[in-house]
């Protein structure tokens, strides 16, 4: 009986280690893929085209005049055009995407890139047509305001932006 108990203990430990090192469920940290944060909650299609998700990381409080969140963009997902009254910083942590300021060509962005967006600059960002992109968005507040949402990025604008990644 003691031997069976020992065998069951070893099996339990092996199962625990195997499960711990091979987590592949959505919204879980996957050690093998270096996912830092869960996928989060789906963002509104009032402000995003396609499937984009947010995991809040830091909220504005008495010490911080900004918020931070991990945003996951599935292929083809993107923000609407928008501005920030006190600017925004994007830290790309996974994949490839696009960033475009109004009147300028779209720029490809990739893991490791830092995009410093000046205040009141009309822009959009998101995944490419074929690749996912995840970034940390650090967005400053001006009083209680942090974003002004504008019109959606058209399919024509998105298609033209994707030609910069070919």
pLDDT at position 17 over 90: no
Question: What is the number of alpha carbons within 13 Å of residue 94 lying toward its C-beta?
Answer: 19
Rounded to the nearest integer, the mean pLDDT of the chain is 85
pTM over 0.85: no
User: What is the model's pLDDT at position 23?
Assistant: 35
- 147 backbone dihedrals φ, ψ, rounded to 5°: -155, 145
Taking residue 151's Cβ as centre, other Cβ atoms within 10 Å add up to 10
- pLDDT digit string, tens, across residues 137-148: 999 999 999 999
Per DSSP, helices labelled H in the chain are 2-21, 155-162
- pLDDT digit string, tens, across residues 41-83: 999 999 999 999 999 999 999 999 999 999 999 999 999 999 9
């Amino acid at each position: 009986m003691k031997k069976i108990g020992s065998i069951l203990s070893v099996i339990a430990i092996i199962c625990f280690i195997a499960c711990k090192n091979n987590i592949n469920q959505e919204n879980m940290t996957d050690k093998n893929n270096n996912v830092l944060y869960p996928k989060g909650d789906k963002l509104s299609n009032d402000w995003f085209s396609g499937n984009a998700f947010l995991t809040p990381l830091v909220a504005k409080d008495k010490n911080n005049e900004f918020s931070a969140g991990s945003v996951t963009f599935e292929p083809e997902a993107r923000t609407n055009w928008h501005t920030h009254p006190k600017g925004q910083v994007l830290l790309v942590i996974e994949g490839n995407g696009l960033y475009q300021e109004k009147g300028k060509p779209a720029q490809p962005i990739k893991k490791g890139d830092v995009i410093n967006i000046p205040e009141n600059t009309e822009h959009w960002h998101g995944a490419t047509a074929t690749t996912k992109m995840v970034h940390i968005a650090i967005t400053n507040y001006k009083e209680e305001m942090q974003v002004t949402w504008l019109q959606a990025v058209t399919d024509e604008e998105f298609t033209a932006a994707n030609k910069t990644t070919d």
